[in-house]
Each structure stands twice: as structure tokens, then as C-alpha cells.
Amino acid sequence: MAMNTIRLQLRFLLPLVVVLIAAAYLALPLMDRLTLRWFARDLDLRGNLVATALSDAVADALNESKGDRLQALIDRSAQDERLLAIGVCSLEGQLLRHSRSYPSDLDCVHARTAALQTAPQLRLAGGAVHLSMHPVLADSEPVAQMVLLHDLSFVERRSQDTQRYLIVFIVALGGTIALITVVVAQLSWRGWVNGARALLRGEGLIRPPGASARELAPVAADLRARLRDLDDAYRRTLGPLTEWDPERLRALLRSQLRGDQVIVVSNREPYIHGRGATGIEVQRPASGLITAVEPVMRACSGTWIAHGSGSADAEVVDRDDRVRVPPGSEEYTLRRLWLTPAEEKGYYYGFANEGLWPLCHVAHVRPVFREADWKHYRAVNQRFADAVVREARSDDPVVLVQDYHFALLPAMIRARLPRATIITFWHIPWPNPESFGICPWRREILQGMLGSTILGFHTRYHCKNFIETVDRHLEARIEHENSTISYHGARTLVESYPISIEWPDEATRASWAPVEVCRQRVLERLNLPADHRLAVGVDRFDYTKGILERLQAVELLLEKHPRWIGRFGFVQIAAPSRSELPEYSAFQARIHEVAQRINQRFGHALYKPVHLLARHHGHDALNELYRAADVCLVTSLHDGMNLVCKEFVAARDDEQGVLILSRFAGAAAEMREALIVNPYHLDETADALHQALTMPVAEQRERMASLRSTVREFNVYRWAGRMLADAGRWRLRERIDARVLEHSGHEAP
């Protein structure tokens, strides 16, 4: 470890030493040149001074014919410590006189040439010599030239001294820097090592590290994110700690509800028997409610009461109008109730679907309320209440009332079976008090619903709307703290239970064809090339599902990104629904028109961008389509929950495919990793489509894996289990209350 540290520090120090030596090598000659130039300038000045001082005397001496005086003057002046030699040249360039030390080979011509250089120097045996030439003036007229040679060897000596000092200084500086570096590096290395060790021990990972390790905060953040990813991936492979499945639901029924009978009431039946070409055929209707409640019923093996709507339904029931379903495995009883066409028209199409459905959905379709429909609605609710009483084997069954077709049923059952546990689940949104206020029978509907023990909605927001509506229209006591409403001596718990689907088990998944095969089959069936990109939508053909907006977004995509023309197709499954109602038939005709228009605009004989399949599909065909798709589009304008998005996610065990989900679907609260859009904003949906079609595989995997873990954990058994567990606790509390009351009655005087 210590060796490593030293090696690391050497790796830093060696370049530093090399840099310092290089700097010294560069700096020293530079300094030499500089000092030389300074001294040359000094010597020039000094030479001028000497020349000026000697000029008159030399001029006079030149006039004497003997010239001894000139020689003596020169010799005397040359005794100056720095002045090496003096020479006197005639104006013609002849050396007239010179001192003794004057170099023999330096004639006047050479001396003049040398003096013209910027730093005039000569090298003699004794060292470097500075040369300068000055005029000798007589009456301001030059009469000769004086050559002065100054000693420069002292400059070299000084330069050598300076070099020595500089090298010592650089070595000392390098040493000091190295020492400081080593000490600081040691200290920070130790700090980093300790900090990193602390991080690895987990300190500062739960919370951000303290001040001492602040510089490690980015590392800690990265490590935290990585750990979270690993943890998520690990948890996903494990699944939820205690997964909700049919067995856990059955155990809950046995323990908390003492195996009491479970009765489900819904308008739509889970299996429809119809006369087909080959005899009696069984169909599973396109309904989110059926998708969710059926697996729960199979786990509870109770009785399901529903409207018998199939053309061969009556042929397969016994004399009590019962038939065991699912066909083949017969896990629970389906009790069929027959409605006259008038009842169906008034109760189902009229009050429920022309009145309550648009009332509860903000989809800009006006609700229609008719007195006659209301009467049928009340009467049919009463008929279902009678059927519940007849099917009940005890006075306290658990009754699960499903949806807006039966708002009056809870109070009607409560009147006949006061000890029943009635759980009502409202599958669609609940509007705000103002919107609900337009219903002429608002009070009756609220009173009917408050016959429930538990009233469930998909989201807290719907619960809040309901409680505020009761507050506005009834004189009830509301306890916000525990979300209960007391009305006429009975209490109702208003709670949110987000619905879901049954998570496919191993055996189911093993029966699926591989994704590539599904893709190939779907593309072949639609006559599309193998590299075609595919988006799908699967819905009941309903105006709340945003099918029109979806088509317009597809059109906009092709307009904004023409590269998708001929390479992209959108398949819309639209299962027939309520087509008898004018609002629905007009809407459905409009969708056909728009699909055709888009195909005319962007398609040709061999290419259709929109494939509108407005017919009922088998469950397997839907699953195949989900597995074949690159993108699933759920663009509801308003939706209680929406199960299609959850089915798509459950079908993608390859963790590929992108979900585009409306923010107005209840599911948007749970499925955050989808591309969430406002379906009214066509550009936003078109852009999301483009983003989905170009999303990298790794991002798809990350989003899909997370969505799958959510849907797997929050499955339909959890939805039912939480409601039944709440019901179990409620019943226990009521039994204790009753016993206390009975006891205090005995004690009473």
C-alpha cells in the first residue's frame, strides 16, 4: 500500500523535477544575455566618459611631432583597473599609438567593424573584452579615433555566480514543492481513502455525507444511484415480499371472513353464451370490470349475479337460472337475471349510460336524464337486490356490488339483510359536487350508495369528490380523519383501491408464443413488411377513450415526421359497445371516417397507416397484438383506471415496448415510467409517439422493467384482498360492538 502511494507520488514528482530543470536550462542563457547587455551599456557610458576626459589631452599630444607624450598619456590611462588597453587611430584608419596591452592583431579597421555591433566584444587570452570607439576632437572637429578595451571577464565570473545561486534556488524550490506535495498528497490520500472506505461501509449513503467528506459527495451520489439501480433490479427479480395471489386471497377469506359466502353483482356477465354457426359459443366480454373481478371470483368460488344477455344464455342455465363457470373448470356459480327489452333500454342504455356515464366522465358529452329511465333503473336495482337475498345462504354474506349500474342496490340489500357486508366498487370516476348536482335524483343515488359498508374508488381524488358531494347534498356526518360517512345511523368507509389485472403466472407465460413470432404473425395478418413499426390501441368503442384524438395524433406524426410514412402502422382494436345509443353510433361513424381520411392522405394501394378493427377479439389475439407492438397508446379523455395499459405491460416479458398513457386515466398515478401525455394536446401525443418509436432499447427496458414490477405487485388480488381485509376488520369491530352492547344490556338495572 505504502509502495503504491510512493509510486503514485513519484509519478507526480518526476515530471515536476523535469519541468524545473528545463526551466533552469532555458532561463540561464537568457539571464546571461541580459546581464551582458546591461554591462555593455554601462561600459559604453564609462568609455564615453574616459574618451571625453582624454580627448583634449590626446588631441594636443597628437600635434607634437615626437609623440612621447601621447604614449605616456595612453600608458598612464590604461592603468585603470577595468580599462585593458587604449589605441589611437588616425582618421584614415592607421593605428598611431597604443598601450602595451593592446592586442597586436587588432588593427583600426577590425576595431571599427567590431565597435558597430550591438554588444561589441572580443575574446582574448585573458577572457572576454568590451570594445568601444570614440572620436578625439580638436575645436569640435574629429582629428582621430580612440579605441578603448574594457575587461569583461568579471561579467562571466558574476554570471557563473548567479547561475550557481539560481541552481541552488531552483533545487531548493523544487525540494520544497516536492515536500509540500508529498505531505498534502499523503494527507488527502488518507482522507480520500478513509472517505471512500466510509462510503463502502455505507456511511453517508443513506443520508448525504457530512462536512468532512463533502468533496466525496458526487462519488457518494453516484454510488447511491448505482446501489438504488441494483437494489431495484434485485427486488424486481425477487418480486414483492409477499405476493398477492389467489391462495393468499383464499386464506384471507378463510381467516378474516370465516369462509363467508361472497356474492358479486354486476350488470355485465363474465361469460356470454351465444348461438353461433357451430352451435353454442362462449364469449368473454370486452370489459375492464370483468377483467378485474373474474380472477377474484375464481379464487373465492362464490356466486356472481349478472344480466343474462347472450342469445343462448337461457339454454345453459339450470332451473334456478344458474350455470357453473368458467366453462370446463367450473370454479364458481353464475346466476343470470333476465331483463325485458324495456328494462334494458331504460335502466342500462338510458339511465346508466346516457345519464350516469357522461355525468361521471369529463368527456364533453351532455348527460340525459329521463323520468322513465330512472323508474326502470330503480326497478332493476330492486330486482337484483331480491336476487341477492335469494342467493344468500346466511344473513351476513359479503356482497360485492359493481359499478354505476347499481347505485341504489346497497341500500336495498341493507334493508333486507342488515348484517350483510356490502362492498361497493365504483369503476368510473366520481365528478365534483357541482357536476354531480345536475342529476335530478342526486340525493337518492347518494343515499343508495351509503347503504354500503365500504365504498371503493380507484383514486383518493375520486373519494374526495364523493365525500364533498355528500357534504353538499345530504345531512351526513363526515369524519375526514378516517374517511367515513355516517348517515341515518349507519357508517360507510370511503376508501381508494386502485384496480388491476391478474399477473400472468409461469404456466400462462410459457404458453405464449415468442415476441418475434407474435410480431411476424401480426405483420403478416395485416399484410405489412417485416421492418414495419407498430403502435396499438385496444378499447371498447367508447367516446371517453380518446380514440379520435389518438388518430389525429397519428396523422400529426406522419405530417411532422414524413420519414414514418410507409414505415409505421397504427392498429386500433375497437370492441363494439353501446352502439344502440345515438351518441355512440355517431362517434363510431366519425372514427371510421377519420381513419379512412388518414389512409387516403398518407396511404396508397399497398400501404395503410391506420388499421381500424372494429370487432370483438379473443383474449389470445389481444395478447399477441400487445406482444407484437412497439408502442401501446392509451389516450383516454377520462378513465377511472384503465386496464389496457396494465395488460400491455404484463404481456411484455421481453421488457421491450413503450407505453404512452393519458394523464386523465387513473393508471397514470401508478405508471410513472410511461410517457404521460395530455390527449387533448395533439402535438404532445404525436411527439411522444415519435419519441417512443426512436427510444433506445436500454431505456425501453428500464421503463418497462419498472412498470412490470409495479403491476406485478399491485395486482388484482391485492385490490380485492385490501377491500376484503378492510371488510373483515369492520365485521370484527361490529361483532365486538354488538357483544359489548349485549353485555351492557344484561348489566343494566
**Binding region for ligand GDG (CB under 6 A):** 284, 286-289, 291-292, 427-428, 499, 538-540, 573, 575, 616-617, 619, 622, 639-644, 647
CB-nearer residue toward ligand GDG: 377 or 457: 457
Smallest gap from Cβ 625 to ligand GDG, in A, equals 10
Cell 356490502 -> residue? 422
CB-nearer residue toward ligand GDG: 88 or 522: 522
CB-nearer residue toward ligand GDG: 245 or 539: 539
Smallest gap from Cβ 609 to ligand GDG, in A, equals 21
Smallest gap from Cβ 261 to ligand GDG, in A, equals 23
Integer angstrom CA distances of residue 512 from 136, 246, 628, 650, 713:
118, 21, 12, 12, 21
Integer angstrom CA distances of residue 94 from 51, 78, 110, 132:
18, 20, 11, 17
CB proximity list for 420: less than 8 A, separation 6 or greater: 392, 395, 396, 397, 398, 399, 413, 414, 453
CB-nearer residue toward ligand GDG: 294 or 630: 294
Smallest gap from Cβ 662 to ligand GDG, in A, equals 11
CB-nearer residue toward ligand GDG: 40 or 494: 494
CB-nearer residue toward ligand GDG: 77 or 588: 588
Integer angstrom CA distances of residue 628 from 247, 362, 445, 689, 706:
32, 32, 44, 16, 20
CB-nearer residue toward ligand GDG: 396 or 647: 647
CB-nearer residue toward ligand GDG: 445 or 668: 668
CA 436-663-231 angle, 5° bins: 130
Smallest gap from Cβ 615 to ligand GDG, in A, equals 7
Distance CA 665, CA 644 (A): 11
Distance CA 425, CA 678 (A): 27
Smallest gap from Cβ 236 to ligand GDG, in A, equals 24
Q: Are 535 and 631 in contact (CB under 8 A)?
A: yes
Q: How many C-beta atoms lie closer than 10 Å to residue 179's C-beta? A: 10
Q: Are 306 and 266 in contact (CB under 8 A)?
A: yes
CB-nearer residue toward ligand GDG: 111 or 629: 629
Q: Are 140 and 126 in contact (CB under 8 A)?
A: no
Q: How many residues does the chain have?
A: 749
Q: Is 301 left (phi over 0), alpha (psi -120 to 50) or beta?
A: left
CB-nearer residue toward ligand GDG: 145 or 309: 309
CB-nearer residue toward ligand GDG: 571 or 575: 575
Q: How many C-beta atoms lie closer than 10 Å to residue 676's C-beta? A: 16
Smallest gap from Cβ 539 to ligand GDG, in A, equals 6
Burial class (CB in 10 A: 0-12, 13-18, 19+), 709: buried
Alpha-carbon 599 to chain mean position: 35
Smallest gap from Cβ 404 to ligand GDG, in A, equals 9
Distance CA 48, CA 40 (A): 12
Q: Are 137 and 59 in contact (CB under 8 A)?
A: yes
Comparing every residue's Cβ against ligand GDG, the nearest one is: 288
CB-nearer residue toward ligand GDG: 78 or 661: 661
Structure-block grid coordinates of residue 419 = 348484517
The separation between the first and the last C-alpha atoms of the chain, rounded to the nearest angstrom, is 88
Which of 132, 153, 189 has the alpha carbon at shortest distance from 8? 189
Sign of the Cα pseudo-torsion (336, 341, 345, 347, in order): negative
Smallest gap from Cβ 641 to ligand GDG, in A, equals 3
Smallest gap from Cβ 596 to ligand GDG, in A, equals 21
Strands 121-124, 127-138: parallel, antiparallel or unpaired by DSSP?
antiparallel
Distance CA 461, CA 727 (A): 22
Smallest gap from Cβ 620 to ligand GDG, in A, equals 9
Smallest gap from Cβ 430 to ligand GDG, in A, equals 12
Strands 631-634, 658-662: parallel, antiparallel or unpaired by DSSP?
parallel
Smallest gap from Cβ 733 to ligand GDG, in A, equals 28
CB-nearer residue toward ligand GDG: 426 or 487: 426
